[in-house]
Chain A
Amino acid sequence: MAQSGQSSRLLSTEAVNGLKMISPTAIYATLMLAVPLGLIFLYSFLTDGYLTIEYTPTFANYVETWTSPVFEKVLMRSLGVSMAVTAVTVLTAFPMAYYVSFYVEPSKKSIWLFLITIPFWTSYLIRVFLWLVILGYNGVVNSSLMGLGIIDEPITAILYNANSVVITLAHAYAPFAILPIFVALEKIDRSLLEAGRDLGESPFMTFVRVTLPLALPGVISAIMIVFIPVIGDYVTPSLLGGPEGKMVANLVQLQYLKLDNYPMGSATAVSSMAMVAVALIVGYAQAKLFKRVYGALMLSTSAGLAFLSALGAVLISFGACLVAGLVLGGAFFAYVLSVLVGHVVLFVWLQRRETKA
């Protein structure tokens, strides 16, 4: 009793003050974020009647969504675009973040970061539109390449398809990738790098074995903070995607605003977010597998061979999931389900081995 009296008294000071202080913001986020998100989840199980919503719970929307060839095509394209954008932004952002963190004088760092973030805050719509001008038939790229005599005819492969969407989104999300990597690099104790050098590693190997692992948390947040919003981007595929570059957000918008079918729109939105979760689980489990195999082989064989074996393990495990999907009937949903289940099993297995070791 005395114990609980003491803890409730403790609770009545700091914890209560903290909760009180955060309550306006927390209540706002609950009402405007958590409740609406719960609501679209509920809506996805309802049926759209004419001008009304029928309140009989059903899986019909999900069955329709996951058997629709349009949804499959658009979702897979969104995933592909998002993965490409994430890869491009993170790979190009890393040297930039590295430069600002390691080579720029401390007093000038914030001006560099300011310069990097400015384009991100200004006129998103107009920036996207200007890529039309850059990539278009008479655009900057084509006129300069033709002016230099490198090409004879304008390139059309860079507009109104997934390529133009990838280029534009990679540009739009660049600062989002640079900042988390920069923050992680800033936290690295510089004396560790000196220690690596003193122990006889080359600058490159010091980078691979010290800097890179320590920067990994930043890289992971960069991946998350680019991958998730990009998959739901609406403006870029609408303006630059053409008919062959539309993404899930365009489908969601169509179902909500044009077809006025909220339950179907909700099912599409929830399904897309579920797919994002699946993609993140797959990515996480595969990264873990890669690390395990590479780590186990690196000491006994050459680094190159260990790398190839780890890559092989990743490809084999992913391929096995696809084969399982084929056995389960080869439908889109069967593939997604077996990939998900396969990677959850893989993750749990790796986790258990790790705790044993």
Chain B
Amino acid sequence: MKGGGFKIYAVVYLIFLYAPIVLLPIFAFNNAAIIAFPLSGFTTKWFAALWGEPALWDAAKNSLIVSVSAAILSTTLGVFAARASTRYNFPGKTGILGMIMLPLVLPEIILAVALLVLLLGIGIPLSLFTVTLGHVLVCTPFSIAILSAAFQSLDKSLEEASYDLGENAVMTFGLVILPLVMPGIISSLLITFTISLDEFIMAFFLAGTESTLPVYIFSQFRFPQAVPVIMALGTILVVLSVTLLSFAEYFRRRGIARTGGKDTGGFL
């Protein structure tokens, strides 16, 4: 068979990639307080225990506020940058885009301490707001990457047709361009939401006394008796993320199909 050896390798590689995620539900439903083999029976008590953790619900609420805000803000910033980078040529384009995309490669801890120094320097107290500022910084490059694909494949003649028919720039954007890239925008919202929901370092440095879900999870790792409950929480979060990402992928493909582009695959 063509590429037989490679296919075996690829499947083994996927198993390696998914190994930790597969273990997660196994331990979430395992009836033992210690996370180790051998397994000792099925239980749903760790999921039931989630209801009795007020700190967790606070963290979940905080995470929801931060992730929704970060998703909306970073996608808005992403729309501007993606539109500018695909439609216009202007001086310093590479440099400006390079700076905006920089958080993609810089270690997050550097971004986090830099923001910490700035915020405390100008006297902004740490809160969920400061976490959101950090998350927008981290999420925007991903949003731009997704949206650029959507804007890239946009046919310029549709826009010109709209001008010829007498619409102004704002109405053209609202009536022609926006509906065409809408699937890309939804995809970006879902992905940036997922990234923000999972982001730990920024929240760890910038949350002050508040806590988001990853910060809560990290603090619970110190207590061995709390870990099975965290496995249950993790299972729910993974199911949620995979669902959101599947929707995002669906919209991303629909967006590219709608604007007539060729799907090169992948988010980046």
A interface, CB within 8 angstroms of B? 14-19, 21-26, 28-30, 32-37, 39-40, 43, 92, 95-96, 98-100, 102-103, 109-110, 112-119, 121-127, 129-134, 136, 138-140, 143, 171, 174-175, 179-180, 182-183, 186, 224-225, 228-229, 231-235, 239, 249, 252-253, 256-257, 262, 265-266, 269, 273
Contacts and interface: CB of A to CB of B under 8 A. Distances in A.
Nearest to A128: B20
A206 B130 CA distance: 53
Contacts of B35: 132-133
A21 B80 contact: yes
A39 B114 contact: yes
Contacts of A239: 221
Given A21-B83, A24-B77, A43-B117, A15 B88 contact: yes
Contacts of A30: 99
A129 B200 contact: no
Contact of B107 (A17, A29, A179, A229): A229
A34 B99 CA distance: 8
B59 interface: no
A240 to B, nearest CB: 11
A224 B102 CA distance: 12
A103 B6 contact: yes
Contacts of B80: 21-25
Nearest to B97: A22
A21 B90 CA distance: 10
A14 B20 contact: no
Contact of B253 (A96, A110, A115): A110
Contacts of A37: 110, 114
Contacts of B218: 125, 235
A33 B214 contact: no
Nearest to A234: B109
Interface stretch (B9-17, B46-54, B155-163): B9-17
A136 B36 contact: yes
Top 4 nearest A-B pairs (CB, nearest first) are A232-B107, A18-B88, A103-B3, A18-B90
B217 A125 contact: yes
A265 B13 CA distance: 39
A34 B115 CA distance: 10
Contacts of A122: 21, 194, 198, 237-238, 241-242, 245
Contact of B17 (A95, A174, A262): A174
Contact of A228 (B17, B23, B107, B117): B107
Contacts of A116: 14, 17
A110 B250 CA distance: 11
Given A22-B85, A116-B17, A40 B117 contact: yes
Nearest to B18: A119
Interface of B is mostly: helix
A40 B267 contact: no
A121 B265 contact: no
B37 interface: yes
Contacts of A39: 114, 117-118, 121
28 contacts: A17-B88, A18-B84, A25-B77, A28-B77, A28-B136, A28-B137, A28-B140, A29-B137, A29-B140, A36-B114, A36-B117, A95-B13, A98-B6, A103-B6, A112-B265, A121-B191, A121-B198, A122-B198, A125-B221, A126-B230, A129-B230, A136-B36, A143-B37, A179-B266, A179-B268, A229-B107, A234-B201, A266-B117
A14 B88 contact: yes
A127 to B, nearest CB: 5
B133 interface: yes
Interface centre among B144, B227, B249, B268 (most CB of A within 10 A): B268
Contacts of B96: 22, 26
Nearest to A101: B265
Nearest to A226: B105
B167 interface: no
Given A103-B6, A127-B20, A131-B20, A36 B115 contact: yes
B78 A25 contact: yes
Contacts of B133: 32
Interface in B108-148: 108-111, 113-118, 121, 133-134, 136-137, 140, 144
Given A125-B218, A131-B20, A269-B110, A139 B36 contact: yes
A18 B93 contact: yes
A165 to B, nearest CB: 15
A113 B9 contact: no
Contact of B36 (A96, A138, A266): A138
Given A17-B88, A98-B6, A121-B195, A252 B109 contact: yes
Contacts of B209: none
A132 B24 CA distance: 12
A100 B10 contact: yes
A30 B98 CA distance: 12
A252 B16 contact: no
A123 B23 CA distance: 13
B56 interface: no
